């Protein structure tokens, strides 16, 4: 019973819900949408998803607003990105309309799992696509499954909005310079697990990866984008190997709305000594402010938050984006999709 769920203490994890929705691509076209109550799938032992990593996904959140309505944040942007990811690893792209329809269906069918307004929790939507065809030689599949599952997740900041520390380690790269970094594919995550684990063991929340070619510029921050505030400007890495984060894109717009200049450009490691704020950003946290960045190879420590607290720009951006997602403030950019 959902009445028994303690929404505010839910982790970011899997909670079984009532339904998931599925659609199979076969003979060059997408078939009928299937509503399923099963938590498992039955696939071929030689499926390309299992052998050659033909798997990609998305991550989106739905919220119960102040007015009781359910809103999905920037669904169309995720629909565009999943197509780009599909092209990146030779999978059949899910049409935007089908993507949006299935995500909305999955939310509607599991409406009782959308956490109440004020709980800080949300319904996480996880669309994923896998290659189904059996292949032993390396080649893309001709059949695919697109599936949307949902899971209620608790608030990201359980102990309140606060800083964490991250580190730079040059012994790991997340992706190759012209590789799959800009696509949201499972393989990138497998490739980052060891680095993430190492950082956690040392007490850091994430690794700030450097660009994989020259190791000179800041790149991706664990499984999130990175931005900093320098001389009052919002600066974020321009890189071929980072995933274009919808949250980062939204924060840039909100920063501009607040009269803050935005620069997408190479950021050198040295510049970290001149920034007044830094944060990781993504759907899970919106902004996860950074207190200190330790370069483990040079021994240099960049103390970002001199007073140990999240900075004013990050706090303002975080509050603004949350208010829009929750319907507390006007959605002037048309970012929310209502689920009716
Ligand atoms: C999903 C993801 C992000 C964040 O993207 P959002 O659209 O903001 O959720 C950033 N980096 C990586 C590697 C990701 O997979």
- The per-residue pLDDT for range 160-215, each reduced to its tens digit, is 899 999 999 999 999 999 999 999 999 999 999 999 999 999 999 999 999 999 99
Q: Can you give the pLDDT at residue 108?
A: 98
What's the gap in Å between 181 CA and the centre of ligand 1?
A: 10
DSSP string for 255-307: HHHTT--EEEE--BGGGGGG-SEEEEEETTTEEEEEEEEEETTT--EEE--TT
| CB 220 less than 6 A from any atom of ligand 1 | yes
Task: For CATH 3.30.470.10, list the domain ranges present in the chain.
Answer: 2-153
Q: Within 10 A of 306 (CB to CB), how many other CB atoms are there?
A: 9
Chain-centre distance of CA 328, in angstroms? 23
Would you give the DSSP letter of residue 188?
Answer: H
| CB 59 less than 6 A from any atom of ligand 1 | yes
Q: If we measure between CA atoms, which residue out of 322, 254, 313, 228 comes closest to residue 283?
A: 322
User: Mean pLDDT, to the nearest integer, of 64-78?
Assistant: 97
Q: If we measure between CA atoms, which residue out of 244, 228, 233 comes closest to residue 293?
A: 228
Q: Can you give the pLDDT at residue 22?
A: 98
| CB 236 less than 6 A from any atom of ligand 1 | no
Task: For CATH 3.20.10.10, list the domain ranges present in the chain.
Answer: 164-325
| CB 180 less than 6 A from any atom of ligand 1 | no
What's the gap in Å between 229 CA and the centre of ligand 1?
A: 20
State the fold for domain 2-153. D-amino Acid Aminotransferase; Chain A, domain 1 (3.30.470)
CB 28 within 8 A of CB 110: no
pLDDT at 28 > cutoff 90: yes
Structure tokens at 36: 């399923």
> Rounded to whole angstroms, how far apart are CA atoms 185 and 260?
32
| CB 327 less than 6 A from any atom of ligand 1 | no
| CB 74 less than 6 A from any atom of ligand 1 | no
SS3 65: coil
User: Mean pLDDT, to the nearest integer, of 109-135?
Assistant: 97
E strands within the chain?
Answer: 20-26, 29-30, 34-36, 55-57, 60-64, 70-73, 122-131, 144-153, 164-168, 206-210, 218-221, 225-230, 233-237, 262-265, 277-282, 286-295, 301-303, 336-339
Average model confidence (pLDDT) across the chain: 97
Please tell us whether the domain made up of 164-325 is placed in CATH 3.40.50.720: no
pLDDT at 307 > cutoff 90: yes
What's the gap in Å between 58 CA and the centre of ligand 1?
A: 8
Q: What is the bridge-based pairing of β-strands 34-36 and 20-26?
A: antiparallel
Q: Within 10 A of 248 (CB to CB), how many other CB atoms are there?
A: 24
CB 96 within 8 A of CB 80: yes
Q: Within 10 A of 74 (CB to CB), how many other CB atoms are there?
A: 22
Give bridge partners of residue 279 from the DSSP assignment.
227, 289
pLDDT at 38 > cutoff 90: yes
SS3 246: helix
| CB 75 less than 6 A from any atom of ligand 1 | no
> Rounded to whole angstroms, how far apart are CA atoms 102 and 105?
5
Q: Can you give the pLDDT at residue 1?
A: 63
């Amino acid at each position: 019973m959902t009445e028994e769920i303690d929404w505010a203490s839910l982790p970011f994890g899997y909670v079984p819900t009532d339904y998931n929705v599925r659609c199979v691509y076969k003979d060059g076209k997408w078939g009928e949408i299937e509503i399923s109550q099963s938590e498992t799938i039955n696939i071929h032992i030689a499926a390309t998803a299992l052998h050659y990593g033909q798997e990609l996904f998305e991550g989106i959140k739905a919220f119960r607003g102040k007015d009781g309505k359910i809103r999905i944040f920037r669904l169309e942007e995720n629909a565009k990105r999943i197509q780009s990811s599909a092209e990146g690893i030779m999978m059949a792209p899910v049409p935007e309309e089908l993507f949006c329809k299935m995500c909305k269906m999955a939310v509607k069918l599991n409406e009782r799992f959308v956490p109440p307004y004020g709980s800080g929790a949300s319904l996480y939507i996880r669309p994923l696509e896998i290659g189904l065809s059996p292949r032993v030689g390396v080649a893309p599949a001709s059949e695919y499954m697109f599936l949307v599952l949902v899971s209620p997740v608790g608030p990201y900041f359980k102990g309140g909005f606060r800083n964490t520390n991250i580190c730079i380690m040059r012994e790991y790269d997340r992706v190759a310079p012209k590789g799959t970094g800009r696509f949201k594919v499972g393989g990138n995550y497998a490739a980052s697990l060891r680095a993430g684990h190492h950082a956690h063991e040392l007490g850091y929340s994430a690794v700030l990866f450097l660009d994989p070619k020259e190791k000179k510029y800041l790149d991706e921050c664990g499984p999130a984008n990175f931005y900093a505030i320098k001389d009052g400007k919002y600066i974020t890495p321009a890189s071929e190997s980072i995933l274009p984060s919808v949250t980062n894109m939204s924060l840039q717009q909100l920063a501009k709305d607040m009269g803050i200049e935005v620069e997408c450009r190479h950021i050198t490691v040295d510049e970290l000594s001149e920034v007044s704020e830094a944060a990781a950003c993504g759907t899970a946290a919106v902004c996860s402010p950074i207190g200190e960045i330790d370069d483990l190879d040079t021994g240099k420590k960049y103390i970002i938050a001199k007073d140990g607290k999240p900075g004013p720009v990050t706090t303002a951006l975080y509050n603004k984006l949350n208010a829009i997602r929750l319907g507390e403030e006007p959605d002037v950019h048309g970012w929310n999709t209502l689920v009716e």
